[in-house]
Structure 1
Amino acid sequence: MLTDLEELVTCESYSSDLRAVARSADIVAAQGRRLLGVEPERIVIEGVTHLRWTFGTPRVLLLGHHDTVWPTGSLATHPWSVTDGVARGPGVFDMKAGLVQIFHALAALPSLEGVCVLVTGDEEVGSGTSRALIEEAARQCAATFVLEASADGGALKTARKGVSSYELVVHGKAAHSGLEPDKGVNAAVGAAQLTLALDALADRANAGARDGWKTTVVPTVVRAGSATNTVPATATVSVDVRVPTVQAQEWVDIAIRALGVTVPGARVEVRGGPNRPPLEESSSAALFERAGALAGQHGVELSSAAVGGASDGNFTAGLGCPTLDGLGAVGGGAHADHEHVLVAEMVPRTQLLAALVKEFTL
């Protein structure tokens, strides 16, 4: 497993480098072919390479991605290493160890009938080309197991917040800021009003919500103007929204689209909207209970966590397919300099996955 992990990590796969993603797909495909015995379907959409293995009529979907956030060349500063039982390297935790665990878990089973494995190439940039593939596969299945890395301490991710992304554009009118500012319509002032209004939305959305699992509405990037002596004709406010429930996502969407500004003559345009639905605890509860029972048989104690980050498991849960996430590597530091995997945990997690798949495909 470590040899396979090294091979994946040392083949860089930065999401925006489509050639690197294609090379990575070659390595992932070769590992899958060796361990599963068949070639995958290679699906290239808008230059992004995805891989799919299907065995009979799928009942279980194993979901992962092979792209990473690490720019090509990161191996020079973050080389592959294994020291004192800790593996390091770009993408080792998120989520190349999870791919290794998929292949080795399935290789241990007597039959793969009823299994679909989907490894996408654009999860880290929003799954724009792979979402339809994910949803198509999930519609056929009774369960989805997502091999994203675990939460702290190896906890499975039984809930994930949904994500909405917006860009609010204020349209004003340019004018010389020294000679005739009164003839302009200042979009920057409108953007400032929107920023304050957005910041207040979360308080309204969270009336009655439990602590630690609330809706967040965060203005992030604000841009305005073209020159220091010109009244800004346009301004934009980017907004990141994280929601625990579908109802909250719908409420925030309506509220954002209703926002306006008091700058005379200004107009607000709302772009974007919900991207990933939430993975609610109700979607994972039965699967987590079963995983806990199987883990106990192997002497592994499981815990659960609700997290703010999203994954492709949000899509499968949003379709109503029971989904259990965070079955991949145990370690930490996703997207950070200290990204790492605890090697000793790889085999027990692989055994747990094999037991889960076997149970749901019998």
Structure 2
Amino acid sequence: MTMPKADPVNLAAMIEDLRTLVEVESPSRDVAALTASAKAVAAVLENRLGGQAGFVGSDAGPHVHWSAGGEPKVLILGHHDTVFPLGTLARRPFTVEHGHATGPGVFDMLGGLVQAVHGVALLADRSGIEILVTCDEEVGSGSSRALIEERALACGAVLVVEGAAEGGAVKTGRKGCGTFEVTVTGRAAHAGLEPEAGVNALVEAAHQVLDIAALGRPEVGTTVVPTVASAGTTDNVVPAGATVLVDVRVETAEEKERVEAAFAALAPHLDGAAVSVRGAVGRPPMPGSASAGLFAVAQRLQPGLEGTAVGGGSDGNFTAALGVPTLDGLGAVGGGAHADHEYLVVDAMPGRATLIAGLVNAIRNGEF
């Protein structure tokens, strides 16, 4: 197994780069903030790796792409958008204390980006390496999916630097996931004078929620969970409209097709009501087979490294669905993604950077 031979990782420099990225807030859908964040990401890439990082514009904001040149062999994939609104930094400033770095986005996934950059920096020969940092992963990757798939197919192997699973495990499989919106249309009427003249969209929505919840098959990893509902306008009016949002997670393509077909077939229970559905399982499942070869290499590089399948989705779902070998969860060790207690374990950063460097070398040398 080929390991990188270069200067050791500079942890102080990694922390400084992490501070730089965290202190440029980057909430999804805020194009101005994401533009500033993209410039900061590009500056870190160029400063540590040389060359020039390019910007790929989109309606969602700029994606950042860096390439060392040569025949593409490996794509390192991440994102620079976060779930935290502007102003979060003032309340939770970047801090390093008691072995943890905290601040908005440290774990998901700015720490992973920094580790990837410093891992690649360990390699004197960087040919064949590409790094793609998108700006819309947290909101479904609508503007970046085609670019992700194009570069994944061109490179032939993908390392995703999303945060690690519990205990530092890498992510060897992911469920497919999506959101469905069910809209119920009824007919308004006075709730006291003539309720029978109305068609109660809230009652219809209640029937739909029970039908939808019954679609789950936890024994095969399928969860179908109604999460948000709204109906009505005021307390003395039969509600004419209602909406229900549903989170769906599946482990197989067959379950994806079954659940999507079931949503399309939803029918009203009340005379005069109408039901419409939009949504899909937008991120296909990432099967364990997609990561098996790369995970075996990672275990040889770092004996004792564990892998696990998780319910959350990432852009690795897209690349794995194409048949491109993909290993996920190579980013920060820590926890609290999307929460105020988000943190990164500082001492784990050099080891993760070295692991990424070793994987890149193995891929380029055809060792998996």
> TM-score category by the smaller chain?
over 0.9
Residue 326 in structure 1 maps to residue 329 in structure 2: yes
Map 1:171-186 to 2 at 5 A: 171-186=185-200
Which residue is equivalent to 1:216? 223
Write the mapping of 1:1-40 to structure 2, written as runs, cut at 5 A: 1-40=14-53
TM-score (norm 1): 0.94
What residue in structure 1 maps to residue 6 of structure 2?
none
1:171 is aligned with what amino acid?
T
Letter of the structure 2 residue corresponding to residue 293 of structure 1: R
Whole-Å separation in 2 of the counterparts to 1:195 and 1:351: 48
Rounded Cα–Cα distance in structure 2 between residues aligned with 1:336 and 1:227: 34
For 1:40 and 1:151, locate their aligned partners in 2 and report how far apart those are by CA, in whole Å.
Answer: 29
Task: Say if 2:78 and 2:134, in contact at 8 Å, map to a contact too.
Answer: yes
- Counterparts of 1:306-345 in structure 2 under 5 Å? 306-345=309-348
Match of 2:10 in 1: none
Distance in 2 between the 1:82 and 1:268 partners?
51
Aligned to 2:156: 142
Match of 2:90 among 76, 81, 104: 76
Inter-partner Cα distance in structure 2 for 1:218 and 1:47: 28
SS of the residue corresponding to residue 237 of structure 2 reads coil
Q: Tell me the SS of whatever aligns to 2:155.
A: coil
Question: Which amino acid in the other structure matches residue 312 of structure 1?
Answer: D
Q: Which deviations, in whole Å up to 9, do the C-alpha atoms of 1:216-261 show, x marking residues without a partner?
A: 1001111112232222222111110011111111111111221222
Contact persistence 2:65–2:130 (CA under 8 A): yes
Equivalent residue, structure 1, for 2:234: 227
Matched, 1:287 2:294: yes
Q: Following TM superposition, by how much is the alpha carbon of 1:34 offset from its aligned partner in structure 2, in angstroms?
A: 1.2
Asked whether the 8 Å contact 2:29–2:60 carries over to 1, the reply is: no
- Cα shift at 1:16: 3.1
CA RMSD between the two structures: 1.3
Which moved further from structure 2: 78-87 or 306-315? Answer: 78-87
**Counterpart in the other structure of 2:268:** 261
8 Å CA contact 2:29–2:61 kept in 1: the answer is: no
Tell me the TM-score normalized by structure 2. Answer: 0.92
Residue number among 169, 181, 186 corresponding to 1:155 in the alignment: 169
1:166 matches 2:173:
no
Secondary structure, counterpart of 1:201 in structure 2: coil
What is aligned with 1:91? Answer: 105
Distance 1:192 1:141 in 2: 48
Partner residue, 2:54 = 41
Where 2:282 maps in the other structure, the secondary structure is strand
Counterpart AA for 1:352: L
Gapped regions of structure 1 (runs ≥ 5): none
Aligned to 2:357: 354
> Could you tell me which residue of structure 2 aligns to residue 112 of structure 1?
126
Q: Distance in 1 between matches of 2:283 and 2:70?
A: 29
Distance in structure 2 (CA, Å) of the matches to 1:68 and 1:58: 28
What CA deviation, in whole Å up to 9, does each residue of 1:146-177 have, x standing for no partner? 00010010000111111021111112222222
Aligned-pair distance for 1:47? Answer: 4.6
Aligned-partner Cα distance in 2 for 1:272–1:125: 14
Deviates more, 1:162-171 or 1:225-234: 225-234
In the alignment, the residues of structure 1 paired with residue 57 and residue 235 of structure 2 have an alpha-carbon distance, to the nearest angstrom, of 45
Q: CA separation in 2, counterparts of 1:25 and 1:262? A: 50
- Please tell me the residue identity of whatever aligns with 2:178: S
Which structure 2 residue ranges, 5 or more long, are not aligned?
Answer: 1-13
SS at match of 1:228: coil
Question: 1:182 aligns to what SS in structure 2?
Answer: helix
Match of 1:302 in 2: 305
Alignment-derived partner of residue 271 in structure 1: 278
Residues 42-100 of structure 1: per-residue CA shift (max 9 Å, x gap)? 01201511101132332211000111111111122211111132111111111111111
Give the stretch that moved more between structures: 281-290 or 226-235: 226-235
**Quick one: distance in 2 between partners of 1:6 and 1:201?**
45
Query: Identity over the aligned pairs, expressed in percent?
Result: 53
Structure 1 residue 100 corresponds to structure 2 residue 114? yes
CA contact (8 A) 2:191 2:237 kept: yes
Contact 1:40 1:51 in 2 (8 A): yes
Q: Does the 8 A contact of 1:164 with 1:249 survive in 2?
A: no
Offset at residue 341 of structure 1 (A):
1.0
Distance in 1 separating the partners of 2:236 and 2:323:
54
- The answer to whether residue 235 in structure 2 is matched with residue 240 in structure 1 is no
**Secondary structure of 1:140's partner?**
helix
